[in-house]
Structure 1
Amino acid sequence: MLVYAEAFAEPPYLKTSADVAANARRFRSQCRKATFRAALAITGDGAPVGIAYGYPLSASTGWWDRLTTPVSDGVRRENGGRTFGLIELAVRAPWRRRGIARRLHDTVLNGASEQRVLLNARPDVPAAQAAYRSWGYRKVGEAHPWDGAALHDVMLLDRGDENGVG
C-alpha cells in the first residue's frame, strides 16, 4: 500500500491514513476475484515504485450506473469479458515521467482478451489525463465513482484488433 499511500496523499487526492486503510480492504476483496490482474514495478533492491490492477467488469457491474449522464446501452453493455476495469494505476513521485505507468498499464493488459479498458480519472490531474489520451483513451462521461467522491472523467480505451478481438 506504500505506492497508493504516497501517490494519493498529494493534491488533489489528499488521501488520509483512513482512506489508505479502506483501499487496503477493497484491494483484499478485489484480488480474490479469479480474473484479477496486477502489475508491480520495483527498484533493483525491491522497493515498490508503481502499481496497476483491475479485473473484467461483470454483466452486473455498477460502474456505468455512476455516470452523471447515461451512455447508450451499446456502450454500457457488459458480459464479464468485454471490458477490463483498470481500478488503480499509480507511480510514486520520484519515478514519474520515466514510462513506468505506461509499462505497468501494458503489462497488466498483456494477453488480455477484453475489447476495451475502462478507468476513472480526475480531470484536475493534467499529467494523468494527458497520458491516458496519448495511450488512446477517450472520455465517455463523468461520474462520482463512489459516494462522496469528486467528479471523475470516465475514460474508455477501445482495444479492437490490437488484441485479436473486435
Structure 2
Amino acid sequence: MLASARDDLVAVYRDVRAELLHLPNYAVSAFAERLDRHGSDPGWTAVLAYAEDGEPVGYAYSNVIETDDRWWQRITPFPAAEYIERPAVALKELGVRVPWRKTGTSVSLHDTLLAQHAREPYVSLMVNPAAGEGKVQRLYESWGYRSIGTSQPSPESPVLTAMIRSTRRAGKPTGRG
C-alpha cells in the first residue's frame, strides 16, 4: 500500500512542514526514511484526503504497537500498564495543507484512520508542544487526548508531548482541524 501512496504522502508533508524543512528532523529526506520504515511496521494504515481536482490535501498514518515497542520505551515517565497491556495504535503522522485547515479535514482523516483500528483500545501520538504556538496540542486535547509524559524519539527531534486517548469515543471531537 505504501508504494501507491508514497508520492502523495511526501508531497503533502513537504507543504505541511515547509517552514521546518531546514531542520534535520523535519527534512523531506528524514520524513521519507521514517515513512519507509513505518510503512513496513506491523499494522501500518494510511488515509489520504483529496480535493475535487485530485490534488492530495492531507494524510494520516499509524501503526499497531505492542507492549515492548520502542514507542512506549521512549516515554518518560513510563506509561501506565493499562495503556500498554494490549496492542495500541500509534498515530505517527497527521498533516493537512494550509488551504484545507480549519475545514474539518484533519478530524475526518483522524476519525477515518481510527475506524480501521476497532481491536485496539488506545491511540497514542506525540506532538511538538511548540507546534502552532501550542495550537496543535490544544486541538488534540479537544479531541480527547491527554498528556502522559514526554519523549525524544531521536537526538535531532525536539522533546515531544506523548498523548493518549481511547480509540472509541462517545460523541464527536469538538475541535475543527
Same fold (TM over 0.5): yes
Report % sequence identity.
33
Deviations 1:68-103 (A, max 9, x none): 33334x145344x3x100000000111111110000
Per-residue deviation at 1:44? 0.7
Q: Which residue of 2 aligns with 1:129?
A: 137
Per-residue deviation at 1:116? 0.5
- Is 1:140 the counterpart of 2:148 in the alignment? yes
Counterpart pick for 1:150 among 149, 153, 158: 158
Q: Which residue of 2 aligns with 1:6?
A: 15
Q: Which residue of 2 aligns with 1:43?
A: 51
- 5+ residue gaps, structure 1, are none
Deviations 1:92-145 (A, max 9, x none): 111111110000000111141210000001111222112111110000111112
Distance 1:117 1:154 in 2: 11
Q: Which residue of 1 aligns with 2:78?
A: 70
Q: Which residue of 2 aligns with 1:104?
A: 109
Per-residue deviation at 1:160? 5.2
- 5+ residue gaps, structure 2, are 1-9, 171-177
Per-residue deviation at 1:67? 2.2
Counterpart pick for 2:126 among 120, 140, 155: 120
What do you get for the CA RMSD once the two structures are aligned?
2.0
Distance 1:22 1:117 in 2: 24
Distance 1:78 1:48 in 2: 36
Query: SS of the residue aligned with 1:98?
Result: coil
- How high is the TM-score relative to the length of structure 1? 0.84
Q: Which residue of 2 aligns with 1:85?
A: 90
Q: Which residue of 1 aligns with 2:22?
A: 16
Q: Which runs of 4+ in 1 moved over 4 A?
A: none
Deviations 1:27-56 (A, max 9, x none): 123223452111101111111100100111
